[in-house]
Chains A and B, each alone.
Chain A
Amino acid sequence: MKLKIKNNNTCDNFFTQKTDIITENLNLYYGNFHALKDVNCNIKEKMVTSMIGPSGCGKSTLLKTFNRMNDLVEGCKISGKVVIGGKDIYANGIDVSLLRKNVGMVFQKPNPFPMSIYDNVAYAPRTFGIRKKGELDYIVQKSLVKAAMWDEVKDRLNRGALTLSGGQQQRLCIARALAAEPKILLMDEPTSALDPISTAKIEELCLELKENYTIVIVTHNMQQAGRISDYTAFFLLGELVEFNTTDNIFESPEDERTENYISGRFG
């Protein structure tokens, strides 16, 4: 059964404006290590933006500043601003839980909880006080449909999530993130642990989801960035070297370093 889904609906008013992500002079330190240097970028709403660059260039670090997962890292210090939907997310009085509800994240390695498929997807709604079975059922189904795995799992929702294959686990994690009704979806190398077929499915999913969500994806795979993203950001040694439309980055990069990286001369 194919189900059509219309526009995503809001149920909290955390972001009141368009959900662009804007960073202003963002600097980040892990102890003495300067991981992000004066990053200024403007990520557009309902677009797919790729972040590429060699290992340790700061792209994952930047991603984690958008939902403040860097708060977990000891000795992490931040200066500058990150503004999402008109809100400075590092300002005092920001509810980090609500921020993370609205800025969903998918991790490099699929990390479903050791619970049933249903309970995984229902995790975020339950966290935010939704208890009625009818409402939960609705959200679970809707999220699984959006993640294009409803038909695969609708008859075994009570099964342990860890019995799924790696690719299915990752799509379950996407469904789990969607169930929180976010506006933005951050993906940290979501396909690096997956086989090519699962990777293709997730890429397809990204293209479908961008209708309703702002998607930021960190990837090591330049073909992937080329296939799915509208904008691409190239990072090197904590610096944002170039940020432009994907076509421009891949076809006529302005910076020499970008060109070298794209053409495979280092990385």
Chain B
Amino acid sequence: MTKELKENLYKYLFLVCAIFGIVAVAVIIFYLFARGMPAIFDIGFFKFIFGERWVPEAGLYGILPMIVNSLYAAAFSISIGVVLGVFSAVYLAMYCKGKLQAVLKQMVSLLSGIPSVVYGFFGMMVIIPFISDLTGTYGYGLFVSGIVLSIMILPTIILISFNSIKSVPKSYYEGALALGATHNQAVFKTILPAAKSGIIAGVILGINRAVGETMAIVMVSGNVPKIANSFFNPIRTLTGNIVLEMGYATGLHLDALIATGVVLFFFVLVIITCFNIYTNKSNNKQKEGGNKKTIKPIVDIHDNFSPKIKVSTKATNMLKILSYICISIAVLSLAFIIVFLFVRGVPYINLEFLFGHYIMDGRVTILPSLVTTLMLIVLTLAIALPLGVGGGIFLAEYTKKGNKFVGFLRSSIETLAGIPSIIFGLFGMLLFVTVFKLGFSVYAGALTMTLMILPTIIRTSEESFLAVPQSYREGSLALGAGKSRTIFKVVLPSAISGILTGIVLSMGRIVGESAPTLFTVGTAFAMPKGFASSGITLAVFMYILAGEAFHVNEAFAVAVVLIVMVITLNIISMVFENILKKKNRNALEN
């Protein structure tokens, strides 16, 4: 094989990996629309979108209640989450220093990986009884859904806001202080406005998570397809509608669920588009133009005019106090959740629970679900890793800035990253389970999860390739090595810790997700016999146990196991990230 042929071969191989992202998005969209749109027209567009009754047995498929409830829940959770999240981030970035800052930030990022079933379970066991006693209602409904969602989106908003506040140039702060602003005034009048676009991007991601969240909502919303009249009415969301009925729906009913997915997808696309516009805007900094404001020139400027000044720091002091309150609420509630679950769950963890045989006499063991989860992780990574790293190599090593195709590639990958997990679950069930005839199996689950974690792996590996100093490549090329050899022998080894970060993050995601595996891997309590057999992942197991009244203690124990697994994985990824950072620093210094 000639050298040129070999180089081209590699180039196109990496290109194919990268294009897989586009193909995945295209196929998902095409598949959902191809099955969903005819259903919408069968039912009648207006009857479907604006129909207020969802009674599949009677052939009534109106999803207005789900649309409205989804928006209610998202709006409610966002209004809490934004205030708590942004002010917490302000506290973290501007009012706390050193160790405390590092510890709190680590804690928030560790919490960002906690599976949604765990949050849902907490809502079920703690918030709902409390609200039920307090209000004399059933408890399940809009209010608790909003609270649970706001806790879930909190880490996302805090972390992104924190980063954008931290990236505001220090000179703005100094400039404000030099003009006589106090620390509080500089923070709230200068730094916060300067970080605005980054914060808004974080909020948009939070909205996306709130609209797309499934399992936690199903556990606390009550799932009644009626428009909520009050905070304490039970609700059903778009995501809930899909997951509740897709297990048994057939014919038009199933197509109506797919159409629900189309509507959900539409909302998500709108949100992602907003996100892309905003991040582009923040990159372009300030636009030209906008010269509407003029002031009336005063011809005679003299100085007998001297407005009285007053030093009023009340408003910004209040904001400072607010940010202290917000961080306290955020940290205390997150800590309370963890401690509560541990206190209730740890006593039930024993060898029998971890490694015993599942028998139908009421004793629970998690061994089958542990094995299934492990198999799912191995198989998913085996598929996703080559594709993702290949795609990352292509984006980092073979593209030029400003190329339209590459831009399209990137936005496809962004879109894939923003699609709610239930859409992957629905798509996986329709395509891999049914059309590919894989049945409920680890295979089907792994293919579905591959689509989910691909963007994470592509992104982290691209970033770590870009962080490899250009001089390494030049050194290798100057010795006569080809591009592919340079990539495999020099770039890839230097970027390995970054890739490992991506892998570990993805593992956390596979462990924690339940909506995509519920109807692909299945819910079989038995030990899987191989990749082709069905099983149950730990997160889904937790969901099932939570729904069964007589296994509450075991559900707490599973929650603890899940939290420990996810937090361990997050800690490992942080370690890799620190190694990468250190390496880059050393490379820069040399």
Contacts and interface: CB of A to CB of B under 8 A. Distances in A.
Interface of A: 1, 3-12, 67, 69, 72, 95, 97-101, 104-105, 107, 109, 111-116, 118, 123-130, 132, 135, 137-142, 145, 154-163, 173, 176-177, 180
Given A101-B180, A159-B291, A129 B172 contact: no
B299 interface: yes
B286 A6 contact: no
A263 B301 CA distance: 45
Contact of B180 (A1, A97, A163): A97
Contacts of A160: 285-287, 290
B288 A180 contact: no
Nearest to B168: A114
B177 A98 contact: no
B317 interface: no
A123 B297 contact: no
B177 A128 contact: no
Which are the 3 A-B pairs with shortest beta-carbon distances? Answer: A160-B286, A101-B180, A158-B293
Contacts of B298: 137-138, 141-142
Interface string B265-300: 000000000000000000001111111111111110
Given A1-B297, A177-B178, A180-B180, 17 more contacts: A8-B303, A9-B304, A10-B306, A69-B174, A69-B177, A97-B182, A111-B169, A111-B171, A112-B175, A113-B193, A114-B286, A130-B309, A138-B301, A140-B295, A157-B291, A160-B290, A163-B288
A137 B180 contact: no
A154 B295 CA distance: 8
A138 B305 contact: yes
Instruction: Specify which of B288, B294, B295, B297 lies most central, judged by the most chain A CB atoms within 10 Å of its CB.
Output: B295
B190 interface: yes
Given A107-B175, A107-B178, A163-B288, A127 B194 contact: no
Contacts of B171: 107, 109, 111
Given A4-B301, A135-B307, A157 B293 contact: yes
Nearest to A124: B179
Contacts of B286: 114, 160-163
Contact of A104 (B178, B182, B189): B178
A107 B181 contact: no
Q: What range describes how many residues of B lie at the interface?
A: 35 or more
Contacts of A98: 180, 311
Given A10-B306, A69-B174, A109-B171, A154 B181 contact: no
Given A130-B309, A141-B295, A158 B290 contact: yes
B180 A127 contact: yes
Contacts of A97: 180-182, 311
Interface in B303-335: 303-312
Instruction: Specify which of A6, A69, A130, A159 lies most central, judged by the most chain B CB atoms within 10 Å of its CB.
Output: A159
A12 B285 contact: no
Contact of A158 (B291, B301, B303): B291
A180 B172 contact: no
26 contacts: A1-B297, A1-B299, A5-B301, A6-B302, A9-B303, A97-B181, A97-B182, A107-B174, A111-B175, A112-B175, A115-B193, A118-B293, A127-B180, A129-B312, A130-B307, A135-B305, A137-B298, A138-B301, A138-B305, A142-B298, A145-B301, A154-B295, A156-B291, A160-B287, A160-B290, A163-B288
Interface of B: 169, 171-172, 174-182, 185, 189-190, 193-194, 285-299, 301-312
Nearest to B316: A127
A158 B293 CA distance: 5
A113 B295 contact: no
B174 A72 contact: yes
Nearest to A173: B175
Contact of A137 (B289, B296, B306, B311): B296
B307 A11 contact: yes
B311 A95 contact: yes
B167 to A, nearest CB: 12
A127 B307 CA distance: 13
Contacts of A127: 179-181, 185, 189
A124 B180 contact: yes
A126 B176 CA distance: 12
B220 to A, nearest CB: 41
A176 B179 contact: yes
B308 A11 contact: yes
Contact of A141 (B179, B181, B285, B297): B297
A137 B293 contact: no
Contacts of A1: 297, 299
B288 A159 contact: yes
A3 B302 CA distance: 10
A127 to B, nearest CB: 5
A105 B292 CA distance: 30
B303 A7 contact: yes
Contacts of B294: 154-155, 157-158
Contacts of A107: 171, 174-175, 178
Contacts of A177: 178-179
Given A114-B194, A180-B180, A6 B303 contact: yes
Given A176-B179, A177-B179, A129 B311 contact: yes
A95 B305 CA distance: 25
Contacts of A115: 193
